[in-house]
Structure 1
Amino acid sequence: MELQDLKGKRALVTGGTKGIGKAIADELAGAGATVIVSARTKPDDITHHFIAADLTKADQVSALAKEIADTFGGIDILINNVGGLTTPGGGHSTLTDELWQQELDLNLISAIRLDRILLPQMIEKKSGVIIHISSVAGKQALWNLNMAYAVSKAALNSYSKALSTELAEKGVRVLTVAPGPVRTEPMVKFINDYATSAGVTPEEGMKQLMAQTGGIPMGRMAEPEEVANLVHFLVSPSAVYLTGTIYAIDGGSLPVIN
């Protein structure tokens, strides 16, 4: 029997229909939470309450929040998971103003907007948890692969820390989870695309990419469910004294002291 430590809690997971987001949504539901997921398009196999929303659009963020308020009366847990690497590699010369704005809108501004519109009801009841899903790239940018993405995640880390300090006395906890490589469809595609451009096999492409970051001491990528397990703990009653911290889940790959 799964631990029902989130029974009675309402959780929103953005980007919750696949990959890390789906694993988190399933994990929280298994722990007893009522789970709402959002994404741009609805998949055929969705089992949680679904709300279609492009969170880079302010009006759709407002519509999402209104439906949550009307249907559920608010939320207790917010997982800002939506995001991704959408810009090309190649360094500063490949990144236009539009591409920089695109990456910031997806990985930073979408979370800021959603936090701002959902926080008042958390503050009013002096209870709530916000998790920002970041990336180890926020602490280790690779200029030739992910410059704009890394900068957007570094900004998310800083914003998350500042918000946690603001809200600590108001009963709302804010934490950041920073995965390293996770075995998801976008990651597999990224590796395959890199391998194709480099003229090597996907296995060799993976080795080359990992060599740039110092490798993964544990010798493999994370599974989405492993990230979900960490998120479950952080939003649970067992973590009530935790706020403001970035938790890297990277198999030991980040070559810095957190």
Structure 2
Amino acid sequence: MERTTQELTGRTALVTGGTKGIGKAIADELASLGATVIVSARHEPAEKIPYDFIKADLIHSDSINELAGQLLDQYKNLDILINNVGGTSAPAGGFSVLTEQDWENDLQLNLLAAIKLDKAIVPSMIARNQGVVIHISSLNGKLPLYASNLSYGVSKAALNNYSKALANEVASKGIRVITVSPGMVKTTAMEAFLNSYASSIGKSFDETQQLVMDSLGGVPMNRMAQPEEIAHLVGFLASPKASYITGANYVIDGGTVPTIF
């Protein structure tokens, strides 16, 4: 379906972790809506991308400050910040197998990276009395799976609460803060996680995918999402069409979460 309007023309957006998976799909969506898009990641993209790229490892505070400084020096203002970077390298097996380092790594990547980047960028939004911050969280922030990704789910739950608190604090200053919580999404990172988990429990990839879906209570649509399906929601939330939306956590999971949530 051809676009009839470009709601984000004249807006500048940063997408962290924007060279692949959900992040790349979001970058493509925002660009299709007319935004000038900058992406960051730890490594140079394997293939050429049509966006400005800034190398940054958001585990490190110095790298976050350098990213924010370079961004504001070059573009002067940022209208949309998509805190997409996240993930886990912690082993499956639950509380008993997780080390302090596993917890620290997941909290740094999935919570503190967003907090630190917000702290570096949001003041410039407040000065202009406008801006949108979207945190990409996870269904696991609502439904943690202790056997497969406990520390990841806990860190995403903390991100959800931080995002709500920040939204309430800066709403009167012209800034909207929103959370998007995808369920299972068909990305290389998800495939890597499922392969690793399958190896640890001695099951096939397909068996493990079904096991994870079942452990969430089932996915009524019986499939993983495509990254573009997450990106379409993010594009809407970043646009003026969502101007009265802030402080909300949008779960996009194929119907997984029970109504009580």
Shorter chain as denominator, the TM-score bin is: over 0.9
Partner of 1:60: 63
- Residues 74 and 118 in structure 1, CA contact (< 8 A), matched pair in contact too: no
Alignment pair present for 1:69 and 2:72 = yes
Q: Which amino acid in structure 2 is aligned with residue 135 of structure 1?
A: S
Partner of 1:163: 166
After superposition, residues 1-258 of structure 1 pair within 5 angstroms as 1-2=2-3, 3-43=5-45, 44-258=47-261
Q: Structure 1 CA distance, aligned partners of 2:96 and 2:179?
A: 30
Alignment partner of 2:159: what SS?
helix
Alignment partner of 1:144: what SS?
helix
Q: Which amino acid in structure 2 is aligned with residue 242 of structure 1?
A: I
Alignment partner of 2:132: what SS?
strand
Which ranges of structure 1 fall in alignment gaps of 5 or more residues? none
Q: Structure 1 CA distance, aligned partners of 2:195 and 2:256?
A: 21
Q: Which amino acid in structure 1 is aligned with residue 121 of structure 2?
A: L
- Residues 92 and 200 in structure 2, CA contact (< 8 A), matched pair in contact too: no
Which ranges of structure 2 fall in alignment gaps of 5 or more residues? none
- Residues 141 and 147 in structure 1, CA contact (< 8 A), matched pair in contact too: yes
Alignment partner of 1:123: what SS?
helix
Deviation at 1:7, TM superposition (A): 0.1
Q: Deviations over 1:151-187 (max 9, x none)?
A: 1000000000000000110000000000000000011
- Residues 194 and 209 in structure 2, CA contact (< 8 A), matched pair in contact too: yes
Alignment partner of 2:50: what SS?
coil
Q: Which moved more, 1:204-213 or 1:242-251?
A: 204-213
TM-score of the two chains, using structure 2 as the length reference: 0.96
Deviation at 1:91, TM superposition (A): 1.3
- Which runs of at least 4 in structure 1 moved beyond 2 Å after TM superposition? 192-201, 255-258
Q: Structure 2 CA distance, aligned partners of 1:225 and 1:79?
A: 15
Report the aligned-residue RMSD: 1.0
- Residues 77 and 129 in structure 1, CA contact (< 8 A), matched pair in contact too: yes
Alignment partner of 2:195: what SS?
helix
**Cα distance change of structure 1 residues 161 and 144 upon mapping to structure 2, 3 Å threshold:** same
Q: Which amino acid in structure 2 is aligned with residue 234 of structure 1?
A: L
Deviation at 1:256, TM superposition (A): 4.7
- Residues 132 and 177 in structure 2, CA contact (< 8 A), matched pair in contact too: yes
% identical aligned pairs: 55
Alignment partner of 1:129: what SS?
strand
Q: Which amino acid in structure 1 is aligned with residue 28 of structure 2?
A: D
